[in-house]
Structure 1
Amino acid sequence: MLAQGKPAAGATVVLHPVGQIDPKTPLPTGKVDDKGTVRLSTFTQDDGAPPGQYTITVDWREVRKVTVGSDQIRELSPDKLKGRYGKPDAPAAPRVTVEKQPNKLPPLQL
């Protein structure tokens, strides 16, 4: 996953099944690594996504350490993508089809 031609390292990617609204359905989720690769997990770590059509949401924030008084806390920065890919029904939400076989999808350009 690339943003302006560079890996969106640290971004959270979630696949939402098209036409399925059951809130109990686990959603394939992963983080973008330093090379722009995402390994999805649905039921167990790195097990991928079940076959089907999905819309993709992406949230890209940095964790920052902030000092409050004598305490250090962690907070999230604003989404670097300004929410453009934050909702599965957003006009900019990309779609992907996962086949019942190993899938290697082309890089997604945000």
Structure 2
Amino acid sequence: MLTNFGCDSKAPPTPATTPVKGQILVQGKGVAGARVVFHPQFDVGAVKFAPGATTDKEGRFQLGSAGPSDGAPVGEYAVTFTWPEPTKNPDEGDLQVDRWRNKYNDPAKSKWKITIKEGDNQLEPFKID
């Protein structure tokens, strides 16, 4: 099933989504501000995207694709993570550095593979060292 968002009938169709919720745990505790991205391992059509979300203070998230928290299309995904940490660099202004030093942000090397199915998807927590 395909869905068009917006009023422009010439806009490429985007796949229908289904709700996806999860949690990121670091050393057994939820972390705020971590970013999770689901990289499709299937053809998503003309509109290229990767569903993503940012965690709340308990490490919980709801994926969004075409809009915040609208979920993700059914299919297989490689999952990546970053955890931005604001830093001050007097020469370059405010920067954000990944606390994990890009260790978990390459979809080709991700050890987390997830299948999203029709209906609500409540994922097991992602446990990160």
5+ residue gaps, structure 1: none
Over aligned residue pairs, what C-alpha RMSD do you find?
A: 2.3
The within-5 A match list for 1:2-81 is: 2-20=25-43, 24-64=47-87, 66=88, 68=90, 73-77=93-97, 79-81=98-100
Deviations 1:8-48 (A, max 9, x none): 32111110011448794111010011111111110011101
- How far apart in 2 are the matches of 1:50 and 1:19? 10
- How far apart in 2 are the matches of 1:4 and 1:23? 39
Aligned to 1:100: 118
Letter in 2 for 1:107: P
- How far apart in 2 are the matches of 1:32 and 1:19? 25
Aligned to 2:9: none
5+ residue gaps, structure 2: 1-23
Q: How many residues align?
A: 105
Q: TM-score, normalised by structure 2?
A: 0.70
Q: TM-score, normalised by structure 1?
A: 0.81
Q: Which has the higher strand share?
A: 2
- How far apart in 2 are the matches of 1:83 and 1:40? 21
Percent sequence identity over matched residues? 30
Deviations 1:30-79 (A, max 9, x none): 00111111111100111011111101010111123x3748xxx42113x2
SS at match of 1:89: helix
Gap change, CA 1:16 and 1:108, over 3 Å in 2:
same
